């Protein structure tokens, strides 16, 4: 298990979990969010390739429409 910070909360996740895997685990639609990993925005084409490591800090920002 790897201990990470997700939106300010400390959680444990499986080793070798990708960002896509994390979003799937928490039922988050990857099309409607932006991901910041350790202070850097991650492009959607990297979600499957980026593996979460011990002490990573992840922020998930949801897009909200309005008018």
Maximum Cα interatomic distance, the chain, rounded to a whole number of Å: 43
The pLDDT, as a whole number, for residue 67 is 62
Phi/psi at 58 (5° precision)? -120, 130
Evaluate whether residue 67 is within a structural domain. Answer: no
Question: Tell me, what CATH number does 48's domain have?
Answer: 3.10.20.30
Q: What is the pLDDT of residues 17-45, one digit of tens each?
A: 999 999 999 999 888 899 999 999 999 99
Q: Tell if the pTM clears 0.85, that is, is over it.
A: yes
- Give me the domain span that covers residue 7: 2-62
21: in domain: yes
Q: What pLDDT band is residue 64 in, cutting at 50, 70 and 90?
A: confident
Q: Decide: 17 and 36 in contact? Cβ < 8 Å.
A: no
pLDDT tens-digit series, residues 1-16: 999 999 999 999 998 9
Does residue 54 lie in a domain region? yes
């Amino acid at each position: 298990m790897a201990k990470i910070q997700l939106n300010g909360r400390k959680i444990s996740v499986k080793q070798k979990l990708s960002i896509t895997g994390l979003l799937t685990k928490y039922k988050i639609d990857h099309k409607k969010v932006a991901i910041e990993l350790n202070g850097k925005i991650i492009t959607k084409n990297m979600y499957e390739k980026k593996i979460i490591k011990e002490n990573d800090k992840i922020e998930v920002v949801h897009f909200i429409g309005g008018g």
